Amino acid sequence: MCDKHALSLPTSAAAQGSRRRRLWELSPTCHCPLIGVGLSMGGLRKLAEKSIGNQLGLDDYELHVGVVNECTARKTLSEALQKELERRYAAEVARFHKARTTDEVQALWKAAVAAGNIAGAYWAGLTHPRCTPALEEQMTRDIHMVQHQAGAGARVDLDKYNKLVLDNARLERELSKMQERCNALVQEKAATAREHDAALMGLRALAIGKETELGQARAELTALRATVPELETRKRLANRLAQVEAREGNLRAQLAALKEAQAPALPVSAPEPQPAPPVAQPVRLVNRSILCVGGRSGNVPVYRSMIEQVGAQFAHHDGGLEDSSGLLDASLAAADLVICQTGCISHGAYWRVKDHCKRTGTQCVFVDNPSASSLARTLREVETAS
């Protein structure tokens, strides 16, 4: 075989020229490895069916043997194979085209074998003008051994693949279990989140209700303040009155102490020009503040004497005739009992007294007759009722 192939090729490099060999011009021993590594079975079957023009009912081995036999001469299929190999490995052909000697072609082939890129290099090296029979035989031997190594490697890779398949199945089972646990955890967290959302909505509704109640309370307070005239002034006067009462209490305590210390030396006080009629029974109104509103101005000293006789504190307001109506609110705030002389006060003072006593619950007695006897009778009735 080698002698026959040697007769078909020139022995000198100079005689070979620069023409690349065609597929059918190669040694028949090269066709089998070239077709095996240069073309895939799927591509080879499509190319063969296209060239022959019908569907080939051959298995892969029969197809391979038939195509190899077709490459020994220039035929339609061999020409199609020539074009396909040239198209597919044009880059390798261009790289080998730069080689000018057989040694350079051999160096490029060895580099391709070391890199594992043998299909395109095998085609480009075999068809190179400087490829000698010896280099062709060496390339065929190399690719034969590479195919053996590839087969052994394929078996090793198949074992690894089978192991990987088993590992993949195990990992898929573990992944499925993990996904089930994750789904259960997600559902649990989703249920917890829904519970939290429901609780949050309830709290928000409760907060909105509280805010609504607070707004209503504020509106009611504003309306109440608007209905009560001079509320801020009354507060200030009440605070001032409390301070005055505290100071008055201290002064009364000091005065009482001085009276007890000087009682033997004090002369009997002169009788009033208009003595007050005696109270028929003891009236216990000690330390209570009694406000008389209205009445005749000439009877005020009599009122004071009668009230202080029973140990109470006396306060008077003329009912808006001369005194300021603003002082009436302060006097009312400090009073424990209000005696209103209805015939001697203004209408405004009358309604102010009535409104205050109704709101605060302060005891109020209305007297039609402003005389001293009427006052004494009123004090007895109050004491009896108490």
State pLDDT tens for residues 305-320.
888 888 888 888 887 7
Non-local CB neighbours of 371 within 8 Å, separated by 6+ positions: 299
Q: Is residue 368 helix, strand or coil?
A: coil
Which of these, 246, 281, 267, lies nearest to 382 by C-alpha position?
A: 281
Looking at the DSSP bridge assignments, the partners of residue 291 are 315, 338
State pLDDT tens for residues 206-234.
899 888 889 889 888 888 777 766 666 76
State pLDDT tens for residues 229-264.
666 676 777 777 777 888 888 788 878 888 877 765
Identity of the amino acid at 326: G
- Two tokens at 166? 């088993």
Looking at domain 289-385, which CATH architecture does it have?
A: 3-Layer(aba) Sandwich (3.40)
What's the CA gap between 205 and 211, in Å, rounded?
10
Non-local CB neighbours of 230 within 8 Å, separated by 6+ positions: 326, 329
Q: Is residue 290 helix, strand or coil?
A: strand
CATH 3.40.50.10700 domain position(s) in the chain: 289-385
State pLDDT tens for residues 141-170.
888 888 777 655 556 566 678 788 888 999
State pLDDT tens for residues 172-183.
999 999 999 999
Task: Let me know: does 31 contact 72? Beta carbons within 8 Å.
Answer: yes
What's the CA gap between 166 and 150, in Å, rounded?
24
* Residue at token pair 């190669």: 26
Q: To the nearest whole number, what is the mean pLDDT of the chain?
A: 80
| SS3 sequence of 102-156 | HHHHHHHHHHHHHHCCHHHHHHHHHCCCCCCHHHHHHHHHHHHHHHHHHHHHHHH
What's the CA gap between 292 and 316, in Å, rounded?
5
pTM: 0.37
Residues in the chain: 386
Identity of the amino acid at 189: K
What's the CA gap between 247 and 22, in Å, rounded?
135
What's the CA gap between 360 and 340, in Å, rounded?
16
Looking at the DSSP bridge assignments, the partners of residue 317 are 293
